[in-house]
Structure 1
């Protein structure tokens, strides 16, 4: 299996035989150096089939203007640890699987999804003219100078890094995944999401517009808490729901949607476990998530001035936290390499965390996929609560 953050599979028109796996280097993408503008590797299976994996990269590490000078200024030394890696696996007679893992210093989820979709457009474009027509306006914007922070973010980031890793040891470590987990992908239709919103409007005086993201997250948070199997949970304990909010459009001046990098702020909502598990808990969850998001994104100080959130992130350690990966705006199923829609997207890191994933549905307009990984006992309860709104909302 691929130890990756995002896993997408595609079924091509021609059938492959044999299974070949390509490392980052074999695809011509160095994890620590600049790569050629255009990289193409023709791959052959062990039988009659063949396929082609194509990609391009301009730089895959933080953009130091001068390695030696940067090292003197920051004390940072280059290590063999890659900050982004891709793996493509061909399955005999079935299709291919693309695995991507990356450090958030390089790119956030929006950047990676746009990269994969642009890659797909490039793969099916045919010639240079068709490529520019298909990809031109979607090309990533890499200019870090567009973010005006007067050194504040650099200072906060380095404080965060040195607190967590004072020796600046970035040696790669083996990631172990639990084996006692089962996975499930659940669906909320457009009508079901609207029903959740209507429930908020009907039961919250003077309620304002509530987003799909907020009601979906609150619903999943309630389902997660009510599927806990421990009988020793403290009902007075503050439990949390965390998310990463895109702030490209909230900077001054705003960043283009195609900005490739990390442009997120950390948001953490909290409430008493007992209040969330009792009747009306869903409404409390909605208000908690909405208030926490507005506190960060609509701060009078601005997003950048409120960017001490990396230090708050450490407060999650040892606490009961449900987090969400992805967004209702993510539509990786648009990534057509010329073979049609991907069959499935998975966030592999869910197996190591109490997270859920969220993205647009592959097959149903206006619907959303919610992915999770739990032990069998918790999963059975989660699915039962998720499938019965009366149980989750009352």
Structure 2
């Protein structure tokens, strides 16, 4: 398909930490990194309103962005290194050598900036030229991070990046972006003025009492990741037939759903629940039910089991705990399944919320079990329908401010693959709420949008007189 837009590359360069600023370093992959070796590279786009001409952008803004990036990379150097699985090692490791660099491309686009920043359905293919993919190279090693800054003259800029998930999770990646933006926003990019804490790189305290590393390496063989056939997944480059849209769940809607769901749970079990009904739980349950109903109306799967996976930051859940600034992966993937008929029924929202809440691990043993089961859970749901949540409102992605103000819009375009839904904090309001990003075919999107908007208007979700006091069991 031809699009009435063009993206012209203005500059292609490499950015590295200042020479001699980082010694040669090797970091082993942990039990939290290894399961992610088979994931495609995440790609994220930040859009900023910025009415500047091309000359000012090229002569002033761009040099400061590249200089501040170099200064920031000396603290987040694993992004600049390479993943190597040497014959002498039992597992891959990240190796940084002085002089390693990342790709940094600059482009100019005549895309409609406001259109790209909309919430309504837009063609996924309109976003892909704005991010540099991570692709195979003719010679090893593979790059782990790539940036593209695209100017929309007198309208704005986009900052898109692709990175290898084995290096960092969403929290670590957003920490890096906030650090870079804070350096860039300071005149001169003085690293001594870095307003965000430095990353914690020590991995020695991450224990493996249950042999998760060995079992994960064995599971990876099933997807052809071994020492002899080691390679990293590439960014998909095939055209998409999907549209992407953003749905807003504001606080009044969330509070209404939380109260109704918890009331139903209490009435069902005749006792107080042993779990909390959070904003995240209710929002995920609502999206899950609406999506299953929308897809089942167009592509029926004949009463299969429906599967749901939610990433959870495990830094404070392991023993010993890791600081919030830990740079790497420390995710567990809460997994739950239920019969499709349960979600399609009258109590679908309640059953979905209860299943998601109960799957949230409480102690370190449950956390480690979930880490070890990640690849198995993915493969077990392969022949059925799986919804995976990507992102989190706790990442505070809209705090990434390069001195242009907060982002006008953020898109996680790598999550346009089938089965992914993105969650982040609401960017257009200081009153809270969530942004829900989803990519579907046009027919599926129309069905989902109708269900998402209309279901909340149903009379049963309205507050009722005589409601029980549920404040003790409802969390933000």
TM-score computed with the length of structure 2 as normaliser: 0.68
1:260 matches 2:320:
no
Counterparts of 1:271 and 1:254, CA distance in 2: 32
C-alpha displacement at 1:119, in angstroms? 1.1
Decide which of 367, 371, 379 is 1:303's aligned counterpart: 367
2:409 aligns with 344
Q: Deviations over 1:3-61 (max 9, x none)?
A: xxxxxxxxxxxxxxx954655xx14149xxx97649xxxxx996564222231322336
C-alpha displacement at 1:374, in angstroms? 0.8
Gap change, CA 1:46 and 1:200, over 3 Å in 2: closer
Matched position secondary structure for 2:390: strand
Counterparts of 1:108 and 1:299, CA distance in 2: 21
Counterparts of 1:259 and 1:331, CA distance in 2: 16
RMSD: 3.1
Gap change, CA 1:86 and 1:174, over 3 Å in 2: closer
Matched position secondary structure for 1:183: strand
1:329 matches 2:394:
yes
Decide which of 161, 165, 175 is 1:114's aligned counterpart: 175
Decide which of 216, 220, 225 is 1:157's aligned counterpart: 216
Gap change, CA 1:269 and 1:177, over 3 Å in 2: farther
1:385 matches 2:451:
yes
Matched position secondary structure for 1:248: coil
Counterparts of 2:459 and 2:79, CA distance in 1: 44
Matched position secondary structure for 1:144: coil
Count matched residues.
Answer: 358
Paired residues of 2:309 and 2:387 also in contact (CA < 8 A): yes
Note the 1:65-104 alignment, pairs <5 A.
Answer: 70-74=86-90, 79-104=140-165
Counterparts of 1:152 and 1:392, CA distance in 2: 51
1:41 aligns with none
Paired residues of 2:317 and 2:363 also in contact (CA < 8 A): no
Counterparts of 2:188 and 2:235, CA distance in 1: 41
C-alpha displacement at 1:195, in angstroms? 1.0
Gap change, CA 1:149 and 1:135, over 3 Å in 2: farther
Matched position secondary structure for 2:204: helix
Gap change, CA 1:391 and 1:373, over 3 Å in 2: farther
Q: Deviations over 1:148-200 (max 9, x none)?
A: 22583432332233231144241664613443211111101111111111011
Decide which of 436, 459, 470 is 1:370's aligned counterpart: 436
Q: Which runs of 5+ in 2 are unaligned?
A: 1-6, 23-51, 94-138, 267-271, 462-476
C-alpha displacement at 1:377, in angstroms? 1.1
Counterparts of 1:300 and 1:340, CA distance in 2: 40
Counterparts of 1:362 and 1:347, CA distance in 2: 14
Paired residues of 1:267 and 1:292 also in contact (CA < 8 A): yes
Counterparts of 2:459 and 2:421, CA distance in 1: 17
Counterparts of 2:436 and 2:373, CA distance in 1: 26
C-alpha displacement at 1:74, in angstroms? 3.0
Counterparts of 2:391 and 2:240, CA distance in 1: 24
C-alpha displacement at 1:338, in angstroms? 0.6
1:355 matches 2:420:
yes
Counterparts of 1:370 and 1:163, CA distance in 2: 33
2:203 aligns with 144
TM-score computed with the length of structure 1 as normaliser: 0.81
1:286 aligns with 353
1:249 matches 2:316:
yes
Gap change, CA 1:95 and 1:27, over 3 Å in 2: farther
Counterparts of 1:254 and 1:327, CA distance in 2: 20
Counterparts of 2:327 and 2:372, CA distance in 1: 22
Matched position secondary structure for 2:181: helix
Q: Which runs of 5+ in 1 are unaligned?
A: 1-17, 39-43
Counterparts of 2:392 and 2:235, CA distance in 1: 28
Counterparts of 1:171 and 1:202, CA distance in 2: 47
Matched position secondary structure for 1:194: helix
Matched position secondary structure for 1:383: helix
Matched position secondary structure for 1:126: coil
Paired residues of 1:243 and 1:266 also in contact (CA < 8 A): yes
C-alpha displacement at 1:107, in angstroms? 0.3
